[in-house]
């Protein structure tokens, strides 16, 4: 009889090997204190066929080696990023980032907010410098709230500015990431980008803020009033860009409104006003977010969207009656 090699050295049948591998993965994930496994935390390859999901991370897309776009990290998302080799997170979202959680994972946070209606040249320069410098230390993760619109636009603008992609390739990568066609300003901003000379990037001040909050409650409320007026004009135009106001993109304006309410709800001034005020801001954010989602998906009826506008108006009147009037 032919003697068999020791069990430890014999190859496993494919089914058994796969089963044991799966059990090992489950065991590794069973403890909440464990960092994500190396395989689970590998960034998606540039040729991935769809955005990826990871523990605490959503809509993750690689734009260039070491340059990743996605949604805001949640919970173990910071550990996932650390396991990916990310050393710098750049938030283009309006809300305040969780700087403490990032620091605990050994990651630097940079906050460079941008709107849904585009990205100014000065902001593109800042994003490019922050990304380029961050790559000297490790991978860079750019995020907005959901990871579908602003962060892909930011990553695309950097990719073009650094000469990694053509504007056409970058715009296509935005579509791949889930950026809705409604956000024309984001696409236009990336299409207008070109390769930046090193001297222009070097001229940008590298001291970027960890948190860049809007200047107080008053500014937030003024901005909300302005954007809400825009929403009403869009509503009158049949939920399309008004002919008399061609710069108003419905999805972008609804996104701005949702962002403003979410930022106010997270601010210190709202906390000082008490839990009832915070709840009002969160309610308004939920209504504005529903409106944005419907416009982007194109599945909301005019009546339903108008009903959300009425709810937002009622939210404002209720808040003003208690806290302003």
pLDDT in tens, 89-134: 999 998 889 999 999 999 999 999 998 888 999 999 999 999 999 9
Domain hosting residue 138, numbered range: 52-202
Are 170 and 248 found together in one domain? no
Residues of the chain with pLDDT under 50: 1-39, 325
Residue 29 in tokens: 């994930």
The C-alpha atoms of residue 284 and residue 257 are separated, in whole angstroms, by 9
Are 250 and 317 part of one and the same domain? yes
* Domain assignment of residue 34, yes or no: no
pLDDT for the residue numbered 40: 55
Of 323, 313, 314, 316, give the one whose Cα is nearest residue 275.
323
Regarding whether 228 and 185 lie in a shared domain, the answer is: no
* Domain match, 88 and 161 both: yes
Q: Are residues 177 and 256 in the same domain?
A: no
Q: Are residues 178 and 244 in the same domain?
A: no
Residue 136 placed within a domain: yes
Residue 324: predicted pLDDT: 59
Measured CA to CA, the distance from residue 150 to residue 128 in angstroms comes to 15
Helix (H), strand (E) at residue 321: helix 302-323
Let me know if residue 8 belongs to a domain.
no
Whether residue 251 is found in the same domain as residue 291: yes
Domain boundary among 151, 168, 202: 202
**pLDDT of res. 142:** 98
pLDDT score for 214: 66
Residues 101 and 225 in one domain: no
Instruction: Tell me, yes or no, whether 208 lies in a domain.
Output: no
Whether 33 is covered by a domain: the verdict is: no
pLDDT recorded at residue 183? 92
Rounded-to-integer distance, Cα 134 and Cα 129, Å: 8
Domain count, the chain: 2
Residues 76 and 160 in one domain: yes
Q: Please tell me the predicted confidence (pLDDT) of residue 136.
A: 98
pLDDT at 81: 98
pLDDT value of position 105: 98
CATH number of the domain that residue 307 is part of: 1.20.120
Distances (CA, A) of 59 to 11, 52, 141: 37, 6, 12
- Alpha carbons within 13 angstroms on the beta-carbon side of residue 191 total 9
Domain presence at residue 46? no
User: Does 125 fall in a domain?
Assistant: yes
Quote the radius of gyration of the chain (alpha carbons, Å).
Answer: 23
Looking at residue 314, what is its pLDDT? Answer: 92
What pLDDT does residue 23 have? 33
Same domain assignment for residues 172 and 273: no
| Helix/strand number for the chain, H first, E second | 13, 6
């Amino acid at each position: 009889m032919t003697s068999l090699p020791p069990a430890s050295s014999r190859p496993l049948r494919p089914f058994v090997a796969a089963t044991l591998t799966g059990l090992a993965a489950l065991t590794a994930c069973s403890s909440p204190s464990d960092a994500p496994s190396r395989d689970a935390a590998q960034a998606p390859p540039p040729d991935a066929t769809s955005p990826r999901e990871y523990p605490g991370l959503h809509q993750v897309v690689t734009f260039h080696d070491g340059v990743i776009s996605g949604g805001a990290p949640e919970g173990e998302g910071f550990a996932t990023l650390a396991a990916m080799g990310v050393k710098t997170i750049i938030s283009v979202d309006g809300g305040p980032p969780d700087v403490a959680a990032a620091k605990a994972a050994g990651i630097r946070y940079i906050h460079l907010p941008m709107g849904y209606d585009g990205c100014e040249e000065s902001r593109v320069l800042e994003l490019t410098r922050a990304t380029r410098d961050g790559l000297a230390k490790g991978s860079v993760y750019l995020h907005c709230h959901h990871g579908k619109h602003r962060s892909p636009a930011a990553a695309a603008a950097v990719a073009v500015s650094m000469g990694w992609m053509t504007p056409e390739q970058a715009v296509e990568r935005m579509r791949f990431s889930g950026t809705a066609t409604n956000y024309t300003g984001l696409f236009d901003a990336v299409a207008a980008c070109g390769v930046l000379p090193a001297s222009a990037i070097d001229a940008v001040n590298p001291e970027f803020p960890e948190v860049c909050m809007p200047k107080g409650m008053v500014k937030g409320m003024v901005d909300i009033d302005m954007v809400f007026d825009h929403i009403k004009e869009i509503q009158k135009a049949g939920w399309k860009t008004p002919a008399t106001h061609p710069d108003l993109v419905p999805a972008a304006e609804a996104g701005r409104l949702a962002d403003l309410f979410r930022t106010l709800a997270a601010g210190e001034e709202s906390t000082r006003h008490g839990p009832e005020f915070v709840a009002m801001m969160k309610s308004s954010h939920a209504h504005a977010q529903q409106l944005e989602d419907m416009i982007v998906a194109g599945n909301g009826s005019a009546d339903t969207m108008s009903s959300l506008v009425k709810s937002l108006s009622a939210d404002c009147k209720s808040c003003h009656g208690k806290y302003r009037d």
